[in-house]
Structure 1
Amino acid sequence: MPYNELLSAAAITLTLVAFYPYLHGIIQGIVKPHVFSWVIWGSTTFVVFLAQLQAGGGVGAWPIGVSGAITLLIAVLAYLKRADLTITGADWFFLVAAISSLPLWYASSDPMWAVVVLTAVDLLGFGPTVRKAYAAPHSESLTFFGIFAARNIIVVMALEHSSVATVLFPAAIAVACIFLMILIVYRRRVLAATPP
């Protein structure tokens, strides 16, 4: 098996390993994802997958496609299970920004600009989850975001062609996952140290 295919298979495996307990946690009511974040992440991730394929990402893009499909499933579960439907004005801003990016990609027809716009929007999608994780840091899974940071680093290594269009999204998401993990750990420590 070629190097890129092996890395892609490893990244897909990490995707499934990360999502299984997250999905299980949603079903049990332990993990409460913010529905807007997951709608944004699902739509942008899947469109980035298509743009990466168009830009020559090859087998290295497949983990992003698998992730996009499962992310959309989480958005549906978040809504159906009423996980976190607390919607603020900023959350609406993030959602509108995400939706408005799709026509921009269509108009440009350039996978690089599509990925740049969609990466920016996907990072905005972290907004509602960062807000929620700050207030309720135990409502998110450190393991999930840790596995996704590692998965995205492997995705970058698995790409058949490296360019802005293929590398930007997984690299930026890895950094965002690491930031979110740091925030969750910090807030858990602050809350643990605060007397009731």
Structure 2
Amino acid sequence: MAGIPLDKQLFSLLALVLTFVAFLPYMRAILRDETRPHVFSWLIWAGGTVVVFFAQLADGAGIGAWPIGISGAVTFLVAFLAMRTTADTTIVASDWVYLALAITALPLWWLTSDPLYAVVILTIVDLLGFGPSMRKAYGAPHEENATFFTLMALRNGCVVLALEAYTWATVLFPAAVGIACVLFVALILLRRRAVAQAV
């Protein structure tokens, strides 16, 4: 990869490795019925992540965007596995709102010819996509995988370091989602402690 600094290549490779280290056990846990992801969250995250990947490429993210693109593809696989197994399929009105917002990102990008608008919308939608999972994790914290979201926070940190161009369109999504993953892990762990103390 001529012309790409070695540190960018290494952080991109580390982000890819962390993606698979996080996702493979998570998918195995779904198949074993140890983790019950909320299907709507994963569909929203998958669609948004793929669009952000293309927006990042359009704004010069280079090699730093590839872990996001691969993550989007794998996230669709998680959503598919969740639908085929015993996933949480309870859907409330706000879940439909999150999905509708996610769908608006592509037309807005097309109308404005600026990937930043799509990234801003999809970052907001991705963060809102935590809503159904947070609601579920609050009531059933042992059905979510804190290790997975910890690894995803680390992965997103590596993605930011691997970016070849630092713009709002390239940095916003991985940084915001990484912070959201940290907060989600905190919620899971606090609720597990509260549930254990209540028993």
Shorter-chain TM-score above 0.5? yes
Any idea what the Cα deviations from partners look like across 1:60-84, whole Å, max 9, x if unmatched? Answer: 0000001000001111111111311
* SS of aligned partner of 1:85: coil
The RMSD of aligned alpha carbons is 1.0
2:173 to 166, 169, 176: 169
Distance 1:33 1:108 in 2: 34
The alpha-carbon deviation at position 102 of structure 1 amounts to 2.5
Q: What is the rounded CA distance, in whole Å, between the counterparts of 2:184 and 2:11 in structure 1?
A: 25
Look up the SS of the partner of 1:83 in the other structure. coil
Match of 2:52 in 1: 48
Separation in structure 2 between the aligned mates of residue 144 and residue 102 of structure 1, nearest angstrom: 28
Unaligned runs of 5+ in 2: none
Alignment partners' CA distance in 1, 2:193 and 2:106: 39
Per-residue Cα deviation, 1:50-104 (whole angstroms, up to 9, x for no partner):
0000100000000000100000111111111131101111212212221222222
Query: Which of 180, 183, 188 is the equivalent residue of 1:184?
Result: 188
Aligned to 2:29: 25
Q: Structure 1 stretches of 5 or more lacking a match?
A: none
SS of the aligned residue for 2:69 comes to: helix
Q: Which amino acid aligns with 1:124?
A: L
Where does residue 197 of structure 2 map in the other structure?
A: 193
SS of the aligned residue for 2:31 comes to helix
Matched, 1:131 2:108: no
Q: Is 1:79 matched up with 2:87?
A: no
SS in 1 for 2:182: helix
User: 2: distance between equivalents of 1:79 and 1:161?
Assistant: 37
Instruction: Kindly indicate whether the alpha-carbon contact (under 8 Å) linking 2:105 and 2:117 is maintained by their aligned counterparts in 1.
Output: no
User: Corresponding residue for 2:73?
Assistant: 69
Aligned-partner Cα distance in 2 for 1:43–1:98: 8
Which of 5, 8, 12 does residue 8 from structure 1 map onto?
Answer: 12
Deviates more, 1:61-70 or 1:91-100: 91-100
Aligned residues, how many?
Answer: 195
CA distance in 1, matches of 2:112, 2:30: 37
CA distance in 2, matches of 1:22, 1:49: 22
Answer yes or no: is 1:147 the counterpart of 2:151: yes
- What TM-score, normalized by structure 2, do the two folds share? 0.95
* Segment drifting more, 174-183 vs 75-84: 75-84
In 1, are the aligned partners of 2:33 and 2:86 still within 8 Å (CA)? no
3-state SS of paired residue (1:118) = helix
SS of alignment partner, residue 60 of structure 2: coil
Q: Is the aligned partner of 1:115 residue 2:112?
A: no
8 Å CA contact 2:156, 2:174 repeated in 1: yes
**1:10: how far off?**
0.5
